Amino acid sequence: MNGHRLSALAEAIGGEWIVRHDDPLIAHLSIDSRKPFTAHDTLFIAIKGERHDGHRYLADLRARGMRSFVVSDATAVRAFPECNILLVHDTLDALQRIAAWHRRHFRAPVIGITGSNGKTVVKEWLFHLMRDSEHVARSPGSWNSQVGVPLSAWAMHDRHTMGIFEAGISQPGEMERLRSVIEPTIGVFTNIGPAHAEGFAHDRAKAKEKAMLFRDAQAVVFCADHAEVAEALRAQGIDQRATMLGWSRERSGWLHVVREEPSAIGQRIHVINDAVDFDFEIPFSDRASAENAIHCVALMLHLGRTPQWIAERTPQLPPVSMRLEAVEGIHGITLLNDAYSNDTASLAIALDHLDALAAGRPKAVVLSDLTGGEEPEQRYRRVEELLKRTMVQAVFTIGPELRSHALPFAPRVEHFSDAQELINRVDPVSLADHAVLVKGARAFGLERVADRWQRQVHGTVMEVDLEAIRHNLNHYRALLGPATGVMAMVKAFGYGAGALELARLFAHEQVRYLGVAYADEGIALRQQGIATPILVMNPEPVSMDLLHRFRLEPEAYDERSLQEALRYAAVHRDAPPVHVKLDTGMRRLGFTEDELPKVIGLLRETKGLRVASVLSHLAASEDPVHDAFTRAQIAAFSRMADAIEAALGYRPLRHISNSAGAARWKEAHFDLVRLGIGLFGIGVDARETAQLQHAVSLRTVIAQLKRATNGTTIGYGRRGLAQGERLIATVPMGYADGLSRRLSNGGGRFWVHGHAAPIIGSVCMDMCMIDVTGIACAVGDEAVLFDASHPITDLARDLGTIPYEVLTSIPPRVKRVHVRG
């Protein structure tokens, strides 16, 4: 089954035809206007949510060739006569109805997985175990939401012999909608815990809601030791209708875990029941991995796999990375490393990430042979479709299947027998300034390609979670009215997080403006293909001609800068617009209210200069103590902006709010808000910070361990003193990496395996020493300076400063790794 006629989908959702031009065969569903698509066989569903509205992008999609739409707002598509347009009350409900109708066409067994943690790992491990014997359709990545589940189910075809889909919820009532889409014949309930608890009074209520997924399942795998899980299954009557495949460490269950012990590769687990008594090994030593593996083994036994079959495969269970890492490569290459999975579903997700990462740059893919239950010819035709849809310019293949199916994947295609041959023969200079996806199975060793093409830096790493930043951007967008846009600040090397990668993300998210401090920051972004309007905010003697050449928009904050812009505009009809800065109380840059008559007089003199915006800065928008002052600033700004607008005869944009102003001062939203520190997960107060996601972490590794006897001195100046027998770790992070010397000798700490390890002695230029006494650790273990569990605000407090200073003090020599969920 390669799709459904649009007329059949219209009947399935009960949609009303607004315009009906033809009846195309629909093979793809889309809810994201930014992603590549094939226009003739894609149906765009305009989802309207709290933070976004797909109807805003319909005109752009039509201009790009899209012709089939499902909408809930008929006014958005009044002038689309050559299109097919279906009107429904709720587009999310329509998406779910389409997927549920599509799912009912298939009779293959479907495994539904829910729980608080481990869903994606269990799903990926089940796929790994069965991929050689079943053709599996499964959720890509962690697609377990109200939109992710139906898009996953849509990928199921009659060639599939098994489906594996995960379902996540955060509010009561959501699981019933997902149950109707998945309709699992077999269930796996991993566990219950604090994740996504905000919509539920307690864990029992959340467990009961999750158990609804298995209402019509024939069998359910679960850990009988989790009382809330077992109780929820009974409360929903699942135990009366389904085979209960409960396993237990503590009591006799359908499967009893007798023993778990370390082994050469990780751990060995011994299980028994009435029919089997055997050991299996997994290449992981932690308890969570053991629990995930036992879920998989219990399900395999239920499906009739033998102990020998299971024991042969569990030692090869792969690590499951939840995120794709983007790192800086040599010759201007940006590498997206996904060198651990190799199927078409995950390839589709990775290509979407590659397209967003490229931001208009050329794209290349290093690809190994893929796995899957379909015939290779069919599999690689699908690969060809995905690569062409993403407009990949170069493809390098590794493996005999891709060589034998030498399809025209891209304008440049080269085939290699192994990773080493590719490394030897492909000059990375030929991929300068490309975005490169490295994608494939572990057996092909593609990580060697990523390592060779990656820019080499030392082991201290700043990890920037782009999905967290996207979440935080959407948090602020939800606070704004539909007419208010966002200026994302990427000055100071993107607050230390990497200006270029952030600018690419914000361009993909269609923010209205980017903000930089100095012209050279804006020029660097333009040279890397960033096309979003850029405001240069700080004073610097830069010629208007240079700003014009790179399409940068300057501030005019005093008579000199305004006169310069006026003179340039008088002789250049396409001169860049200016942004007039007003001083409403910061007493830094900008025209005061007393200076306004002269400003207005100058603006009236030259009609060739366009004023793009009028802006100011709130001095203390985050502090309730100064609210009266903030109100006075907002009032002064409105008066001054009104006067400028009246003089110009048109209305420039207005903006005064920073992140704190966006959260606390709705009356100050105006046309734009300028977001900075809030995008990194630091809210105006504890309540807002809890709603945001921590986006940045800084970590290093233990380089050496040494015993220090009582009285031993440590570091320069012998300032560190061992009190008793101590274990001292040296880590390669010093003040040249942004680690302040104020943290010396107990002023700060690292975190090793969740335990505080205070700095002992003075912080050196390239390293420091930490006291790890009583902490089980080894050379190569991570030492974290700050992350989501140990927030940067705590470190800033120890330093007597603010998070801005901590972030911007971390120099470029520290490797930035940008990860995507």
Integer Cα distance of 240 and 244 in angstroms: 9
DSSP designation for 730 = E
Residue 351 tokens, joined: 């290509």
Residue 607 tokens, joined: 């009609």
Residue pair 695/679 in contact (Cβ under 8 Å)? The answer is yes
Integer Cα distance of 78 and 814 in angstroms: 53
Strand stretches in 610-724, DSSP E: 611-615, 653-657, 672-675, 696-701, 704-708, 713-714, 720-721
CA angle 64, 69, 71 (to 5 degrees): 125
Catalytic-labelled residue, pool 598, 607, 706, 716: 716
Nearest 5°: phi and psi at 83? -110, 175
Integer Cα distance of 106 and 102 in angstroms: 8
Integer Cα distance of 86 and 626 in angstroms: 52
The upper half-sphere exposure of residue 734, i.e. CA atoms within 13 Å in the direction of its Cβ, equals 15
Catalytic-labelled residue, pool 491, 557, 581, 735: 491
Residue pair 699/477 in contact (Cβ under 8 Å)? The answer is no
DSSP designation for 761 = S
Is 716 tagged catalytic?
yes
Burial label for 605, CB within 10 Å (0-12, 13-18, 19+), is exposed
Residue pair 701/731 in contact (Cβ under 8 Å)? The answer is yes
Integer Cα distance of 490 and 502 in angstroms: 7
DSSP-derived 3-state class of residue 272: strand
Integer Cα distance of 63 and 82 in angstroms: 12
DSSP-derived 3-state class of residue 24: coil
Spell out a b/e string for 265-288, using b for 16 or more CB atoms within 10 Å of the CB, else e: ebbbbebeeeeeeeebbbbbeeee
How close are the terminal C-alpha atoms of the chain, in Å? 30
Integer Cα distance of 289 and 716 in angstroms: 43
Is 491 tagged catalytic?
yes
Show which residues are catalytic: 491, 716
